[in-house]
A and B are shown apart, each in its own frame.
Chain A
């Protein structure tokens, strides 16, 4: 039987994965072999040509290495930063949501209240009014670190809304894969997220502070002598503002990196800032113990701010260096959590 030459002409049992190169390329057969878009229990060889000797076809594989020039690192990072920043102003970049943008606008305008009052008092020319609204240590401090309304209703809420989805949304939607499949490091990724969130806050806190200072110069016609006198305290207010932005951002981003929800980080940041403040207030009001103010980020910032701007301190049971140390500890912890979470983040959709 086996000598029968006819047996050798019988086509060998079909291997379903083989396709004749000459058969019309419908894509269908290949797709089915690859993805099983049919049920899979039909005989797939129906679509395949009967393989014949010498019929196999090996496609020539040519990999053409990309020989372009990779842009420098700062340029790649800049595109991430730009993507986040421009999203505030126009479409086609990171969408921030209308309510968030609306709230930012409201807070920006509300933060300009002292600018407006300075201009008004300057125009009226009433020195009594001006001494109330114009540039002074207390007013510079209040612009950045005043509790009501700025650090109760404005800045923490802005920070909460901004950090809300900035990392957690990437995790939730799986868009972190879009970043990590590009030639950027994870450090670049968080650093740019951090800077973009901080820059938006700086727009609201520091830019309005600068406007406030320039409004004073413009409306009151201040000379160089005044500027030399007041510039150090303006710089100090700027510095404490930067510290505030940095602290809120690092805590907020750390919360954003541990959560996959969008709202949790925002509420958690708010409850940390306002909750610790309330607790510390209860303790100092009832028991005359200010020690709990050390766990309140806002109060640590305020204490350090009071020291560097030079206003009368409102915390008198411990030195401001304690507050500074606590701030360093809080930021350190937050940045540690942030970096360890992002470096161990699985690039999947959660």
Chain B
């Protein structure tokens, strides 16, 4: 025993491991831990079930240009009559009177017959794209000016003009299409893709970063120090040759030891479900993994920062949770703001704004053409399928809500780096503040 004092301080990693292990075991004995983790899983499972239902549903095909109808009841859809030059509104004029008579096409041939032929990788300020698959624009009976209504010198194309916004780093695409080009797209194909992407982004931002990211720390991190202090067991911890800043850190590490694997597991589960069920050419959407990794990463950083913060609030004051609740409400507002106006300066004073930027950056990597894709869906073929003149396709509004560009106006890589560093910096600062508060705390 006499040799002990010389070899006692052999690195704080042993202390760290002891406290982390202790904290994990302590969580394991609490019912509330399992309730919280179980409820989180159930809530996300519910949403995933609805996603599965939506992905297996087929969005009803809409005949955007109305050429599958047989207005004159002669048995021939309008599209066929127009193509063959008979009068679609005159029952006595139809291709059945030809010699030899033409067999009527099924109406379904004229639904979704002119899909999108867009090059989504195009960049501003102007781009031209689209192709008239069903030939109703390139019809030789039409004049050159009828074929080129957008006056860009190219017949039967779609002109896209990009307007840079004065206020924000983003902008809008204006779609100027020649009549009859890409006018009857496949709603199901677009909706599946758009809803899939919107789902991944929404569940990542609202489900993971917002709900898990705030409520897990609220439930689990607030009492890390405070519970020990109020139950009197803190005396065992602080009567050891270990500084309180270290105790603070190791307790948070113990909390992360249970929260991070949970987030990773849920995130990978989400990646698997959406990867297999999402619309794709292969059997798995491998490119989405990047976004899912960023969702996991952003949630991990958010739980780290919130964990430090709520733990520090618990140290600061017996009723730390009361301070945490308005803060959580503030972050909720910031999350909504971030999804609507990601460049707002106010977001820089939040945690969630930075965390959501990580997801936006990764989305920019993986789906670089999201804004053009949204513009495409909003335009939606410009047919008469929608009500009230809104021709947008199903899913484009949801996608427009869920997707946003990283607000700093930097490239995807730099936004990712900067936001990760800021979050880490916030965590370290909160650690120092929490540690200093804890050190200055008199405990009885």
Give residues in A with beta carbon < 8 Å to B: 97, 99-100, 103, 152-153, 157, 160-161, 259, 261, 263-264, 266-268, 270-271, 274-276, 278-279, 281-283, 285-289, 291-292, 295
Contact = CB atoms under 8 A, between A and B. Distances in A.
Interface stretch (B13-21, B43-51, B356-364, B374-382): B43-51
Given A282-B47, A286-B198, 5 more contacts: A267-B325, A279-B211, A282-B207, A285-B401, A286-B199
B206 A286 contact: no
Given A263-B222, A286-B54, A287-B195, A279 B47 contact: yes
Interface in B190-214: 195, 198-199, 202-203, 206-207, 210-211
B32 A292 contact: no
Given A266-B321, A267-B218, A286 B329 contact: no
B223 interface: yes
Nearest to A270: B325
Contact of A267 (B46, B50, B53, B219): B219
A289 B207 contact: no
Contact of A288 (B51, B210, B394): B394
A196 B269 CA distance: 45
B47 to A, nearest CB: 6
Contacts of A271: 39, 211, 215, 218-219
B207 A103 contact: no
Nearest to A291: B50
Interface string B41-65: 0010011001101100000000000
A282 B51 CA distance: 10
A152 B330 CA distance: 11
B398 A160 contact: no
A333 to B, nearest CB: 15
Given A267-B321, A287-B51, A274 B332 contact: yes
Contact of A279 (B43, B325, B328, B329): B43
A283 B47 contact: yes
Nearest to B55: A287
Contact of A286 (B46, B195, B222): B195
B89 interface: no
B322 A279 contact: no
A259 B321 contact: no
B276 interface: no
B329 A152 contact: yes
B98 interface: no
B322 A103 contact: yes
A35 B158 CA distance: 96
B218 to A, nearest CB: 5
B188 to A, nearest CB: 14
A156 to B, nearest CB: 10
A275 B222 contact: no
A276 B46 CA distance: 11
B34 interface: no
B32 A259 contact: yes
Interface in B201-244: 202-203, 206-207, 210-211, 215, 218-219, 222-223, 227
B319 interface: yes
Given A100-B322, A288-B394, A263 B54 contact: no
Given A286-B199, A286-B398, A264 B32 contact: yes
28 contacts: A97-B319, A100-B322, A152-B329, A152-B332, A153-B326, A157-B326, A161-B325, A261-B32, A263-B222, A266-B321, A267-B215, A267-B219, A270-B325, A270-B328, A271-B211, A278-B206, A278-B211, A279-B43, A281-B206, A282-B202, A283-B50, A286-B395, A286-B398, A287-B51, A287-B54, A289-B54, A291-B50, A295-B46
Contact of B321 (A263, A279, A285, A295): A263
A275 B402 CA distance: 18
A255 to B, nearest CB: 10
Contacts of A292: 46-47, 50
Contacts of B319: 97, 99-100
Contacts of A99: 319, 322
A-B residue pairs, 5 tightest by C-beta: A287-B54, A263-B321, A99-B322, A286-B398, A271-B215
Given A157-B329, A287-B54, A287-B195, A282 B215 contact: no
A282 B32 contact: no
Nearest to B50: A283
A280 B39 CA distance: 15
Contacts of B207: 278-279, 282
A281 B332 CA distance: 14
| B39, B195, B218, most chain A CB atoms within 10 A | B218
Contacts of A268: 219
Contacts of B47: 279, 282-283, 292
Contacts of B227: 261
Contacts of A161: 322, 325
Contacts of B398: 285-286
| B203, B222, B322, most chain A CB atoms within 10 A | B322
A232 B307 CA distance: 49
Contacts of B401: 285
Contacts of A160: 325
Contacts of A279: 43, 46-47, 207, 211
Interface in B387-418: 394-395, 398, 401-402
A271 B54 CA distance: 26
Contacts of A283: 47, 50
Nearest to B402: A286
Nearest to A266: B321
Contacts of A275: 43, 211, 215
A99 B47 CA distance: 36
B201 to A, nearest CB: 10
A261 B206 CA distance: 28
Contacts of B395: 286
| A100, A152, A153, most chain B CB atoms within 10 A | A153
Nearest to B43: A279
Contacts of B394: 288
Nearest to B199: A286
Contacts of B325: 157, 160-161, 266-267, 270
Contacts of B332: 152, 274
Contacts of B51: 286-287
A46 B43 CA distance: 71
A103 to B, nearest CB: 7
A153 B43 contact: no
Contacts of A291: 50
A94 B195 CA distance: 52
Contacts of B210: 278
Contacts of B199: 286-287
